[in-house]
């Protein structure tokens, strides 16, 4: 477990060859099976890097090893199409994403998130965010996709998740602005990736 610091975790301090300077385009959906799945489909059809897929609800959200991700209305679920990255860069992308999510939470809400490597963000020992990074493969690797599921305004979890999951609303006692959080995470991620790829 890592406390959030002002610098990237040492595991992410590597030089990446991929360039991350394209403009962003956000596409909003009411319901999707999975934002990662939709992002991969769009990438195969030619969607540009930094296309961001957002869903109010996922019916088939998943994490590492295809474990189900509880994704009711109220949470923030989005995936970002990126230029293709080497397999060895995927873990770095995941760690950087976790760092940016944790940093956004800390700076906006004065909470103390912890990063549980490689892909989780915790508050008070309970998961508030999960991240999944995948490559999009057609005849070759076409793109990479970062999927982020952040429990923002979820009020209640199923019994099997009550002890292991939390949300920003539960921790703060109030709702948060999903759109503002999305914008800050995407902006922070873009700036960080641009810095390490220059």
Nearest-angstrom CA–CA distance, 148 and 145: 10
The pLDDT score that the predictor gives to residue 18 is 46
pLDDT value at 184 more than 90:
yes
Rounding to the nearest 10 degrees, give the CA dihedral for residues 176, 29, 59, 184.
-40
Residue 109 tokens, joined: 């809400």
Nearest-angstrom CA–CA distance, 182 and 39: 16
Of residues 194 and 175, more confidence is placed in: 175
The overall longest dimension of the chain from CA atoms, in Å, is 48
Query: Rounded to a whole number, what is the distance in angstroms from the first to the last CA of the chain?
Result: 29
| Residues 17-42, mean pLDDT to the nearest whole number | 84
The pLDDT score that the predictor gives to residue 2 is 52
Phi first, then psi: give them for residue 113, nearest 5 degrees.
-70, 150
Nearest-angstrom CA–CA distance, 132 and 145: 8
pLDDT tens-digit readout, 107-156: 999 999 999 988 999 999 999 999 999 988 766 667 889 999 999 999 99
pLDDT value at 34 more than 70:
yes
Kindly state the helix (H) or strand (E) to which residue 179 belongs, with its residue range: helix 178-197
CATH number of domain containing 191: 3.30.930.10
pLDDT tens-digit readout, 36-89: 999 999 999 999 999 999 999 999 988 776 778 899 999 999 999 998 766 667
The helices-and-strands tally (H runs, E runs) of the chain is 4, 8
Provide the b/e sequence for 116-155 (b: ≥16 CB within 10 Å): eebbbbbbeebbbbbbbbbbbeeeeebbbbbbbbbbbbbe
Q: Which residues contact 139 (CB under 8 A, 6 or more apart)?
A: none
Of residues 68 and 94, more confidence is placed in: 94
Residue 53 tokens, joined: 């897929």
| Residues 194-198, mean pLDDT to the nearest whole number | 62
| Residues 149-172, mean pLDDT to the nearest whole number | 96
Q: Domains in the chain: how many in total?
A: 1
The pLDDT score that the predictor gives to residue 30 is 97
Range of the domain at 115: 2-197
Nearest-angstrom CA–CA distance, 24 and 113: 27
Question: Closest Cα to residue 183, out of 16, 68, 18, 24?
Answer: 24
Of residues 184 and 118, more confidence is placed in: 184
The pLDDT score that the predictor gives to residue 136 is 83
């Amino acid at each position: 477990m890592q406390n959030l610091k002002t610098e990237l975790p040492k595991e992410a301090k590597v030089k990446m060859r991929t360039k991350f300077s394209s403009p962003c385009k956000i596409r909003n959906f009411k319901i999707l099976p999975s934002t990662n799945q939709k992002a991969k489909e769009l990438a195969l059809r030619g969607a540009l890097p930094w296309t961001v897929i957002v869903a109010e609800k996922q019916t088939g959200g998943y994490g590492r090893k295809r474990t189900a991700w509880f994704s009711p209305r109220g949470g923030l679920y989005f995936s970002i199409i990126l230029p293709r990255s080497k397999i060895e860069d995927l873990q770095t992308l995941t760690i950087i994403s976790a760092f940016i999510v944790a940093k956004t939470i800390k700076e906006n809400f004065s909470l103390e998130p912890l990063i549980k490597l490689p892909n989780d963000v915790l508050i008070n020992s309970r998961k508030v965010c999960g991240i999944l990074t995948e490559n999009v493969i057609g005849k070759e690797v076409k793109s990479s996709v970062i999927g982020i599921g952040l429990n923002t305004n979820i009020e209640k979890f199923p019994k099997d998740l009550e002890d292991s999951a939390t949300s920003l609303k539960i921790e703060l006692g109030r709702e948060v602005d999903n759109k503002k959080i999305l914008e800050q995470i995407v902006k922070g991620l873009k700036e960080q990736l641009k810095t390490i790829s220059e």
